[in-house]
Amino acid sequence: MKEIQSSAQVQQQFKPSAEDNLLYVAIKYKAAIIGTLVLLLCIGGGIFFWMQHQKTSEQDAALQLSRIAPFLDHGDYKTAIDGTVTIPGLKKISDDYSGTPSGNMATLLLANAYYSIKDYDSALKVFKSVSLENKDLAAAALSGAGDSYLGKNQFGAAAESYQEASKKAENSVLKAQYLTHAADSYQAVNQLQKASELYTKVIADYPGSTGAALAQRSLWKISGKLK
């Protein structure tokens, strides 16, 4: 067995890169999805009127979503979900504009809002219904399902969902993060061998990432308990 490294060595070897410290916000990916929609609009031809309808629907959905954003910013999740007398909530936006980029984003935000108020059953149901072409956002939905399973103390299901999220994600930082969450879930129920295998994989496949640093520390903690 290899000699276990000291904490200082771990921190130096697995120091996160500058890229790893960037904040991957949803608006970045939303813009990419809308960009794809605009490209499709340019194809034209026989589907012109259908595409015009889709464009209008997306504009309406984006406007509705912008109106609900302040409630999310202030942590007023119940209002964000149900809306007010004059402002449609995430639930209605998700239903009315399903299939548009902003409508799909509303669905993801709806799931997060349910999770934030600890309504894990509703969050899980919505996370599983999310349909997103962007792989990193689709992976975020799978990770959200994993978080919801954790809230329900279903650690095995959480680990599986996190592993699916890692497979789906394109960004290596996110891949490492989700795989580390999966390992943590196995560790929580004392399935240390499975946890060890995943921690080792993160360290080997994603060197220099925060996930690798956390995995190395966790592996060090459980190394004495492994049979």
Q: Are 17 and 208 in contact (CB under 8 A)?
A: yes
pLDDT in tens, 175-224: 999 999 999 999 999 999 999 999 999 999 999 888 889 889 998 888 77
Q: What are phi and psi of 186, to 5 degrees?
A: -65, -40
Identify whether residues 168 and 196 lie together within a single domain: yes
DSSP state, 6? P
Rounded CA-CA distance 154/147 in Å is 10
Identify whether residues 153 and 206 lie together within a single domain: yes
**What is residue 44's predicted lDDT score, i.e. its pLDDT?**
44
Domain count, the chain: 2
Unique residue bearing structure tokens 């499975």: 194
Identify whether residues 39 and 87 lie together within a single domain: yes
pLDDT reading at 1 higher than 50: no
**What is residue 54's predicted lDDT score, i.e. its pLDDT?**
54
pTM of the predicted model as reported, rounded to 2 decimal places? 0.73
